[in-house]
Amino acid sequence: MLGIKESLVKYVFQPQPAASSAPDGTPKAPPKLGTSYTPRGPFERPDGKMVFLVFGRTGWLGGELGQMLTDSGHKFEYSKCRLHDRAGIEAEIEALQPTHILSAAGVTGRPNVDWCEFNQVKTLQTNILGVLNLADICEGRGIHFTNFATGCIFEYDDAHKLGSGVGFTEEDKANFDGSFYSKTKGFVEDMLRSYNHTLTLRVRMPIGADLEFGRNFLYKISHYAKIVDIPNSMTVLPEMMPISLEMAKRRLTGIYNFTNPGVVSHNECMEMYKKYYKPDHTWTNFTLEEQDKILSAKRSNNELDCTKLQKEFPEMLGIKESLLKYVFEPNAKAQGIAAE
Ligand SMILES: NC(=O)c1ccc[n+]([C@@H]2O[C@H](COP(=O)([O-])OP(=O)(O)OC[C@H]3O[C@@H](n4cnc5c(N)ncnc54)[C@H](OP(=O)(O)O)[C@@H]3O)[C@@H](O)[C@H]2O)c1
Protein backbone atom coordinates (compact mmCIF):
# COMPACT_ATOMS: atom_id res chain seq x y z
CA MET A 1 0.00 0.00 0.00
CA LEU A 2 1.37 3.45 -0.93
CA GLY A 3 1.88 6.32 1.48
CA ILE A 4 -0.68 9.09 1.20
CA LYS A 5 1.52 11.42 -0.89
CA GLU A 6 2.65 8.69 -3.28
CA SER A 7 -0.93 7.48 -3.61
CA LEU A 8 -2.17 10.99 -4.41
CA VAL A 9 0.48 11.38 -7.11
CA LYS A 10 -0.17 7.98 -8.64
CA TYR A 11 -3.96 7.83 -8.52
CA VAL A 12 -5.15 11.41 -8.44
CA PHE A 13 -2.68 13.91 -9.91
CA GLN A 14 -1.11 11.82 -12.68
CA PRO A 15 -3.07 11.89 -15.97
CA GLN A 16 -5.76 9.20 -15.89
CA PRO A 17 -6.80 6.98 -18.77
CA ALA A 18 -9.76 8.47 -20.60
CA ALA A 19 -12.36 7.19 -18.11
CA SER A 20 -13.96 10.57 -17.63
CA SER A 21 -13.88 11.78 -21.22
CA ALA A 22 -15.14 10.52 -24.55
CA PRO A 23 -12.63 9.77 -27.40
CA ASP A 24 -13.12 13.29 -28.81
CA GLY A 25 -12.22 14.80 -25.45
CA THR A 26 -15.75 15.96 -24.47
CA PRO A 27 -16.61 15.20 -20.82
CA LYS A 28 -18.96 12.30 -20.18
CA ALA A 29 -22.30 12.97 -18.53
CA PRO A 30 -22.08 12.71 -14.73
CA PRO A 31 -23.36 9.47 -13.29
CA LYS A 32 -27.12 9.38 -12.84
CA LEU A 33 -27.69 9.71 -9.12
CA GLY A 34 -31.46 9.44 -9.11
CA THR A 35 -34.51 11.27 -10.25
CA SER A 36 -35.43 13.47 -7.36
CA TYR A 37 -32.49 15.45 -6.13
CA THR A 38 -33.36 18.58 -8.10
CA PRO A 39 -35.67 20.61 -5.85
CA ARG A 40 -38.98 21.64 -7.39
CA GLY A 41 -41.42 24.41 -6.53
CA PRO A 42 -44.61 23.49 -4.66
CA PHE A 43 -46.79 21.04 -6.56
CA GLU A 44 -50.25 22.45 -7.33
CA ARG A 45 -53.06 20.38 -8.76
CA PRO A 46 -54.86 21.79 -11.83
CA ASP A 47 -58.12 21.85 -9.78
CA GLY A 48 -56.38 23.87 -7.03
CA LYS A 49 -57.47 21.37 -4.35
CA MET A 50 -55.41 20.04 -1.47
CA VAL A 51 -55.20 16.25 -1.43
CA PHE A 52 -53.46 14.20 1.24
CA LEU A 53 -51.67 10.85 1.13
CA VAL A 54 -51.30 9.51 4.67
CA PHE A 55 -48.85 6.93 6.05
CA GLY A 56 -49.43 5.07 9.31
CA ARG A 57 -53.02 3.82 8.88
CA THR A 58 -52.74 1.20 11.61
CA GLY A 59 -50.93 3.46 14.08
CA TRP A 60 -52.13 5.78 16.82
CA LEU A 61 -51.28 9.14 15.27
CA GLY A 62 -52.00 7.87 11.75
CA GLY A 63 -55.49 6.86 12.90
CA GLU A 64 -56.01 10.31 14.41
CA LEU A 65 -54.93 11.90 11.12
CA GLY A 66 -57.47 9.90 9.11
CA GLN A 67 -60.24 10.77 11.55
CA MET A 68 -59.34 14.46 11.48
CA LEU A 69 -59.18 14.59 7.66
CA THR A 70 -62.52 12.78 7.43
CA ASP A 71 -64.17 15.07 9.99
CA SER A 72 -62.86 18.20 8.28
CA GLY A 73 -63.95 17.03 4.81
CA HIS A 74 -60.50 16.83 3.22
CA LYS A 75 -59.76 14.49 0.35
CA PHE A 76 -57.24 11.86 1.43
CA GLU A 77 -56.15 8.27 1.06
CA TYR A 78 -54.05 6.02 3.21
CA SER A 79 -50.92 4.63 1.56
CA LYS A 80 -50.73 0.87 1.25
CA CYS A 81 -46.95 0.95 0.78
CA ARG A 82 -44.02 0.42 3.09
CA LEU A 83 -41.96 3.58 3.47
CA HIS A 84 -38.96 2.26 1.54
CA ASP A 85 -41.03 1.03 -1.45
CA ARG A 86 -40.08 3.84 -3.79
CA ALA A 87 -41.75 2.43 -6.91
CA GLY A 88 -44.97 1.63 -5.04
CA ILE A 89 -45.16 5.09 -3.49
CA GLU A 90 -44.44 6.80 -6.82
CA ALA A 91 -47.30 4.80 -8.37
CA GLU A 92 -49.69 5.83 -5.57
CA ILE A 93 -48.69 9.44 -6.08
CA GLU A 94 -49.28 9.22 -9.84
CA ALA A 95 -52.76 7.84 -9.20
CA LEU A 96 -53.83 10.25 -6.40
CA GLN A 97 -51.86 13.40 -7.32
CA PRO A 98 -51.54 14.51 -3.68
CA THR A 99 -50.37 17.99 -2.79
CA HIS A 100 -49.43 16.81 0.71
CA ILE A 101 -48.03 13.71 2.37
CA LEU A 102 -48.57 13.24 6.09
CA SER A 103 -46.52 10.47 7.67
CA ALA A 104 -47.07 9.06 11.13
CA ALA A 105 -45.30 5.88 10.08
CA GLY A 106 -42.37 4.81 12.18
CA VAL A 107 -41.03 1.94 14.21
CA THR A 108 -41.80 2.74 17.83
CA GLY A 109 -41.36 -0.75 19.31
CA ARG A 110 -43.78 -3.02 21.14
CA PRO A 111 -44.42 -3.15 24.01
CA ASN A 112 -42.07 -0.15 24.10
CA VAL A 113 -38.92 1.33 22.56
CA ASP A 114 -36.73 -1.31 24.24
CA TRP A 115 -37.77 -3.53 21.29
CA CYS A 116 -35.66 -1.35 18.98
CA GLU A 117 -32.49 -2.27 20.88
CA PHE A 118 -32.88 -5.88 19.71
CA ASN A 119 -34.24 -5.11 16.22
CA GLN A 120 -31.86 -2.43 15.05
CA VAL A 121 -31.89 -3.16 11.32
CA LYS A 122 -35.70 -3.21 11.16
CA THR A 123 -35.78 0.01 13.14
CA LEU A 124 -33.36 1.92 10.95
CA GLN A 125 -34.87 0.58 7.71
CA THR A 126 -38.08 2.41 8.56
CA ASN A 127 -36.96 5.30 10.74
CA ILE A 128 -34.00 6.29 8.59
CA LEU A 129 -34.11 4.74 5.12
CA GLY A 130 -37.91 4.84 4.85
CA VAL A 131 -38.32 8.39 6.10
CA LEU A 132 -35.50 9.69 3.89
CA ASN A 133 -37.04 7.88 0.93
CA LEU A 134 -40.35 9.64 1.49
CA ALA A 135 -38.70 13.04 1.95
CA ASP A 136 -36.68 12.49 -1.20
CA ILE A 137 -39.72 11.53 -3.29
CA CYS A 138 -41.54 14.65 -2.06
CA GLU A 139 -38.51 16.82 -2.82
CA GLY A 140 -38.45 15.67 -6.43
CA ARG A 141 -42.14 16.38 -6.91
CA GLY A 142 -42.62 19.49 -4.76
CA ILE A 143 -45.11 17.68 -2.52
CA HIS A 144 -45.33 19.05 1.00
CA PHE A 145 -44.20 16.39 3.47
CA THR A 146 -45.15 16.45 7.15
CA ASN A 147 -43.21 13.94 9.24
CA PHE A 148 -44.49 13.16 12.72
CA ALA A 149 -41.15 12.77 14.46
CA THR A 150 -40.10 12.95 18.08
CA GLY A 151 -38.60 15.35 20.59
CA CYS A 152 -37.20 12.38 22.51
CA ILE A 153 -33.78 13.13 21.06
CA PHE A 154 -32.75 15.47 23.88
CA GLU A 155 -31.90 15.19 27.54
CA TYR A 156 -31.44 17.96 30.06
CA ASP A 157 -27.83 19.21 30.07
CA ASP A 158 -25.79 22.05 31.53
CA ALA A 159 -27.09 24.56 29.00
CA HIS A 160 -30.68 23.31 29.41
CA LYS A 161 -30.95 22.46 33.08
CA LEU A 162 -34.01 20.77 34.52
CA GLY A 163 -36.24 23.47 36.01
CA SER A 164 -34.35 26.31 34.31
CA GLY A 165 -37.09 27.07 31.79
CA VAL A 166 -34.44 27.01 29.06
CA GLY A 167 -35.67 24.59 26.44
CA PHE A 168 -34.02 23.06 23.40
CA THR A 169 -34.70 25.02 20.22
CA GLU A 170 -35.14 23.88 16.64
CA GLU A 171 -31.52 24.83 15.96
CA ASP A 172 -30.26 22.36 18.56
CA LYS A 173 -29.08 18.99 17.38
CA ALA A 174 -29.91 15.77 19.22
CA ASN A 175 -27.91 15.22 22.39
CA PHE A 176 -29.61 11.98 23.48
CA ASP A 177 -28.88 8.60 21.94
CA GLY A 178 -29.47 6.49 25.02
CA SER A 179 -31.92 4.33 23.07
CA PHE A 180 -31.52 3.02 19.53
CA TYR A 181 -34.98 4.42 18.75
CA SER A 182 -33.86 7.94 19.69
CA LYS A 183 -30.56 7.47 17.88
CA THR A 184 -32.36 6.76 14.57
CA LYS A 185 -34.71 9.69 15.13
CA GLY A 186 -31.95 12.18 15.93
CA PHE A 187 -29.90 11.07 12.93
CA VAL A 188 -32.76 11.31 10.44
CA GLU A 189 -33.97 14.63 11.80
CA ASP A 190 -30.61 16.22 11.09
CA MET A 191 -30.58 14.80 7.54
CA LEU A 192 -34.11 16.08 6.91
CA ARG A 193 -32.90 19.65 7.47
CA SER A 194 -31.54 19.57 3.90
CA TYR A 195 -34.93 18.98 2.26
CA ASN A 196 -36.97 21.96 1.12
CA HIS A 197 -40.49 20.54 1.32
CA THR A 198 -40.23 18.70 4.63
CA LEU A 199 -41.86 19.71 7.90
CA THR A 200 -40.53 17.86 10.95
CA LEU A 201 -42.76 17.85 14.02
CA ARG A 202 -41.06 16.96 17.29
CA VAL A 203 -43.89 15.20 19.15
CA ARG A 204 -43.32 14.20 22.81
CA MET A 205 -45.17 11.96 25.22
CA PRO A 206 -48.47 12.27 23.32
CA ILE A 207 -51.61 12.52 25.40
CA GLY A 208 -55.12 11.88 24.08
CA ALA A 209 -58.49 12.37 25.73
CA ASP A 210 -59.14 8.61 26.04
CA LEU A 211 -57.61 7.77 29.40
CA GLU A 212 -58.28 4.04 28.93
CA PHE A 213 -56.22 3.84 25.73
CA GLY A 214 -53.06 1.86 26.44
CA ARG A 215 -50.68 4.01 24.36
CA ASN A 216 -51.75 7.25 26.07
CA PHE A 217 -48.89 8.57 28.23
CA LEU A 218 -51.34 9.11 31.10
CA TYR A 219 -52.63 5.55 30.86
CA LYS A 220 -49.06 4.26 30.87
CA ILE A 221 -47.87 6.16 33.91
CA SER A 222 -51.11 5.47 35.80
CA HIS A 223 -50.56 1.72 35.28
CA TYR A 224 -46.82 1.36 35.92
CA ALA A 225 -45.85 -0.08 39.30
CA LYS A 226 -43.48 2.85 39.85
CA ILE A 227 -42.92 6.13 38.04
CA VAL A 228 -40.19 8.76 37.96
CA ASP A 229 -41.14 12.37 38.62
CA ILE A 230 -39.48 14.61 36.05
CA PRO A 231 -40.86 17.73 34.31
CA ASN A 232 -41.18 17.21 30.56
CA SER A 233 -42.58 18.80 27.43
CA MET A 234 -45.62 16.91 26.14
CA THR A 235 -48.06 17.00 23.23
CA VAL A 236 -51.81 17.18 23.92
CA LEU A 237 -53.15 15.58 20.75
CA PRO A 238 -56.73 16.94 20.65
CA GLU A 239 -55.28 20.45 20.57
CA MET A 240 -52.15 19.78 18.52
CA MET A 241 -53.30 17.46 15.73
CA PRO A 242 -55.50 20.16 14.13
CA ILE A 243 -52.51 22.49 14.42
CA SER A 244 -50.38 19.98 12.49
CA LEU A 245 -52.93 19.93 9.67
CA GLU A 246 -52.96 23.71 9.57
CA MET A 247 -49.15 23.74 9.43
CA ALA A 248 -49.23 21.40 6.44
CA LYS A 249 -51.84 23.57 4.72
CA ARG A 250 -49.67 26.66 5.33
CA ARG A 251 -46.81 24.65 3.81
CA LEU A 252 -44.51 25.35 6.73
CA THR A 253 -41.18 23.57 6.48
CA GLY A 254 -38.20 22.83 8.69
CA ILE A 255 -38.23 21.62 12.27
CA TYR A 256 -40.83 22.60 14.87
CA ASN A 257 -40.93 21.66 18.51
CA PHE A 258 -44.42 20.21 18.53
CA THR A 259 -45.35 20.26 22.20
CA ASN A 260 -47.52 22.54 24.29
CA PRO A 261 -45.48 25.31 25.89
CA GLY A 262 -44.05 24.64 29.35
CA VAL A 263 -43.46 21.41 31.22
CA VAL A 264 -45.45 19.12 33.47
CA SER A 265 -44.07 16.43 35.75
CA HIS A 266 -45.26 12.86 36.15
CA ASN A 267 -46.57 13.61 39.65
CA GLU A 268 -48.39 16.73 38.46
CA CYS A 269 -50.04 14.60 35.78
CA MET A 270 -51.06 12.01 38.37
CA GLU A 271 -52.39 14.69 40.73
CA MET A 272 -54.69 15.91 37.92
CA TYR A 273 -55.56 12.31 37.06
CA LYS A 274 -56.61 11.70 40.64
CA LYS A 275 -58.53 14.94 40.97
CA TYR A 276 -60.41 14.78 37.68
CA TYR A 277 -60.59 11.09 36.81
CA LYS A 278 -59.85 8.50 39.50
CA PRO A 279 -60.13 9.95 43.00
CA ASP A 280 -58.76 6.76 44.59
CA HIS A 281 -55.66 6.62 42.39
CA THR A 282 -52.31 6.18 44.12
CA TRP A 283 -48.80 5.87 42.76
CA THR A 284 -45.25 5.19 43.85
CA ASN A 285 -42.16 7.05 42.69
CA PHE A 286 -38.68 5.77 42.06
CA THR A 287 -35.50 7.46 40.89
CA LEU A 288 -34.15 7.70 37.36
CA GLU A 289 -31.30 5.39 38.39
CA GLU A 290 -33.78 2.80 39.68
CA GLN A 291 -35.79 3.13 36.46
CA ASP A 292 -32.68 2.59 34.33
CA LYS A 293 -32.16 -0.76 36.04
CA ILE A 294 -35.49 -2.19 34.78
CA LEU A 295 -35.20 -0.91 31.19
CA SER A 296 -33.02 -2.04 28.30
CA ALA A 297 -32.69 1.50 26.96
CA LYS A 298 -32.64 4.90 28.61
CA ARG A 299 -35.55 7.33 28.29
CA SER A 300 -35.27 10.96 27.33
CA ASN A 301 -36.39 13.80 29.61
CA ASN A 302 -36.35 17.36 28.36
CA GLU A 303 -38.01 20.70 27.84
CA LEU A 304 -38.52 21.98 24.30
CA ASP A 305 -38.71 25.70 23.54
CA CYS A 306 -42.02 26.38 21.79
CA THR A 307 -41.39 30.01 20.79
CA LYS A 308 -41.22 29.20 17.07
CA LEU A 309 -44.55 27.35 17.11
CA GLN A 310 -46.17 30.00 19.32
CA LYS A 311 -45.34 32.67 16.73
CA GLU A 312 -47.47 30.72 14.22
CA PHE A 313 -50.17 29.75 16.72
CA PRO A 314 -50.25 32.32 19.54
CA GLU A 315 -53.54 30.87 20.83
CA MET A 316 -51.89 27.53 21.67
CA LEU A 317 -52.42 26.63 25.34
CA GLY A 318 -49.68 25.93 27.89
CA ILE A 319 -49.31 22.24 28.74
CA LYS A 320 -51.26 22.33 32.01
CA GLU A 321 -54.10 24.44 30.59
CA SER A 322 -54.29 22.18 27.56
CA LEU A 323 -54.40 19.05 29.70
CA LEU A 324 -57.26 20.54 31.69
CA LYS A 325 -59.27 21.75 28.70
CA TYR A 326 -58.80 18.82 26.32
CA VAL A 327 -58.28 15.84 28.61
CA PHE A 328 -59.28 16.20 32.25
CA GLU A 329 -62.32 18.48 32.14
CA PRO A 330 -64.14 16.39 29.49
CA ASN A 331 -63.36 13.21 31.45
CA ALA A 332 -64.46 14.75 34.76
CA LYS A 333 -67.68 15.96 33.13
CA ALA A 334 -68.37 12.53 31.62
CA GLN A 335 -67.98 10.94 35.06
CA GLY A 336 -69.91 13.60 36.95
CA ILE A 337 -66.82 14.61 38.96
CA ALA A 338 -67.01 18.26 40.01
CA ALA A 339 -63.99 20.02 38.48
CA GLU A 340 -63.64 23.46 39.99
N1 LIG B 1 -46.47 7.24 20.56
C2 LIG B 1 -45.50 7.94 21.11
O3 LIG B 1 -45.27 7.91 22.33
C4 LIG B 1 -44.68 8.90 20.26
C5 LIG B 1 -43.99 9.91 20.89
C6 LIG B 1 -43.26 10.81 20.13
C7 LIG B 1 -43.20 10.64 18.76
N8 LIG B 1 -43.86 9.61 18.16
C9 LIG B 1 -43.67 9.42 16.73
O10 LIG B 1 -44.88 9.64 16.02
C11 LIG B 1 -44.98 8.72 14.93
C12 LIG B 1 -46.27 7.94 15.06
O13 LIG B 1 -46.29 7.33 16.32
P14 LIG B 1 -47.44 6.31 16.75
O15 LIG B 1 -47.42 6.23 18.22
O16 LIG B 1 -48.70 6.65 16.05
O17 LIG B 1 -46.83 4.96 16.16
P18 LIG B 1 -47.51 3.52 16.08
O19 LIG B 1 -48.84 3.52 16.74
O20 LIG B 1 -46.47 2.56 16.55
O21 LIG B 1 -47.76 3.34 14.54
C22 LIG B 1 -46.70 3.27 13.64
C23 LIG B 1 -47.25 3.16 12.24
O24 LIG B 1 -46.13 3.14 11.36
C25 LIG B 1 -46.36 2.11 10.42
N26 LIG B 1 -45.10 1.62 9.92
C27 LIG B 1 -44.06 1.10 10.61
N28 LIG B 1 -43.05 0.78 9.78
C29 LIG B 1 -43.47 1.12 8.54
C30 LIG B 1 -42.90 1.04 7.24
N31 LIG B 1 -41.67 0.57 7.05
N32 LIG B 1 -43.62 1.47 6.18
C33 LIG B 1 -44.86 1.95 6.35
N34 LIG B 1 -45.47 2.06 7.55
C35 LIG B 1 -44.77 1.63 8.62
C36 LIG B 1 -47.12 1.05 11.17
O37 LIG B 1 -47.76 0.22 10.23
P38 LIG B 1 -47.70 -1.37 10.36
O39 LIG B 1 -48.58 -1.70 11.51
O40 LIG B 1 -48.25 -1.82 9.04
O41 LIG B 1 -46.26 -1.73 10.56
C42 LIG B 1 -48.09 1.92 11.98
O43 LIG B 1 -49.20 2.26 11.19
C44 LIG B 1 -43.72 7.84 15.00
O45 LIG B 1 -42.76 8.32 14.10
C46 LIG B 1 -43.25 8.01 16.41
O47 LIG B 1 -41.86 7.84 16.51
C48 LIG B 1 -44.63 8.76 18.88
Q: Can you tell me which atom of ligand 1 is nearest the CA of 63?
A: 16
Q: Is there an atom of ligand 1 within 6 Å of 62 CB?
A: yes
Q: Is there an atom of ligand 1 within 6 Å of 57 CB?
A: yes
Probe target for ligand 1 pocket from 78, 201, 203, 234, with the most ligand atoms within 8 Å of CB: 203
Which residues have C-beta within 8 Å of that of residue 199, sequence separation ≥ 6?
144, 145, 146, 147, 247, 248, 252, 253, 254, 256
227 alpha carbon – ligand 1 mean position (Å): 24
* pLDDT category of residue 32 using cuts at 50, 70 and 90: very low
Amino acid (1-letter code) at residue 167: G
Q: Are 254 and 199 in contact (CB under 8 A)?
A: yes
312 alpha carbon – ligand 1 mean position (Å): 26
109 alpha carbon – ligand 1 mean position (Å): 9
116 alpha carbon – ligand 1 mean position (Å): 13
Probe target for ligand 1 pocket from 61, 80, 132, 200, with the most ligand atoms within 8 Å of CB: 61
Rg over alpha carbons for the chain, rounded to the nearest Å, is 24
Q: Is there an atom of ligand 1 within 6 Å of 184 CB?
A: no
Q: Is there an atom of ligand 1 within 6 Å of 266 CB?
A: no
Least confident range of 30-39, 54-63, 174-183, 265-274: 30-39
Does the structure show a pLDDT above 70 at 36? no
Q: Is there an atom of ligand 1 within 6 Å of 58 CB?
A: yes
Average pLDDT over residues 157-170: 97
242 alpha carbon – ligand 1 mean position (Å): 19
Q: Is there an atom of ligand 1 within 6 Å of 78 CB?
A: no
Q: Can you tell me which atom of ligand 1 is nearest the CA of 151?
A: 6
190 alpha carbon – ligand 1 mean position (Å): 19
State the first-to-last Cα distance of the chain, in angstroms, to the nearest integer: 79
* pLDDT category of residue 40 using cuts at 50, 70 and 90: confident
Per residue in 139-162, pLDDT (tens digit) is: 999 999 999 999 999 999 999 999
Per residue in 7-18, pLDDT (tens digit) is: 998 888 875 544
106 alpha carbon – ligand 1 mean position (Å): 4
pLDDT at 14: 75
pLDDT at 18: 41
Considering the segment(s) 51-208+233-262+302-319 as one domain, its CATH architecture is 3-Layer(aba) Sandwich (3.40)
DSSP-based three-state secondary structure for 217? helix
Q: For ligand 1, atom 42, which residue shows the shortest CA distance? A: 59
Does the structure show a pLDDT above 80 at 202? yes
Q: Is the peptide bond before 261 cis (omega within 30 degrees of 0)?
A: no
Average pLDDT over residues 300-311: 97
Least confident range of 29-33, 143-147, 182-186, 267-271: 29-33
Q: Can you tell me which atom of ligand 1 is nearest the CA of 215?
A: 1
Average pLDDT over residues 121-126: 98
115 alpha carbon – ligand 1 mean position (Å): 13
* Long-range contacts of residues 212-215, Cβ cutoff 8 Å, at least 24 apart: 215/60
Q: Is there an atom of ligand 1 within 6 Å of 186 CB?
A: no
Which residues have C-beta within 8 Å of that of residue 281, sequence separation ≥ 6?
222, 270, 273, 274
